[in-house]
Amino acid sequence: MARFGANTPHAAVVQAVIDRSAEVLAISATMGCHLRAVQDLIETVRADVRCARLRVLVGGHPFNVDPALWKTVGADGGACDAHAAITLASQWPSRSAPAS
């Protein structure tokens, strides 16, 4: 598991996902003003074909206030706390690697 701060360049997050063959990327936002950055990061990850198998999970205060907000930012799901995030991620089936 790797942890990055809010100012981590999106390219560094993408590279970490690739280097670790990650299946899930969890993103947390503490304030609504950070939602655009969350959406931008998700769009950056989705644009890289090497991340095609990745699932994106979001959480934090804005997502607790509006439990459907995960759809708006382009995530695969949202969770109200760490326990819920682990439960949700463990229910997702593994995605197959894209055909070459």
Looking at domain 10-90, its CATH class is alpha beta
Q: In what order do the strands lie in the sheet with 24-28?
A: 24-28, 55-59, 77-79
The pLDDT value recorded for residue 93 is 83
Whole-structure pTM value: 0.89
Position 97 scores a pLDDT of: 55
Q: Quick one: which of 38, 33, 34 has its CA closest to 71?
A: 38
Q: pLDDT tens across 15-74, in order? A: 999 999 999 999 999 999 999 999 999 999 999 999 999 999 999 999 999 999 999 999
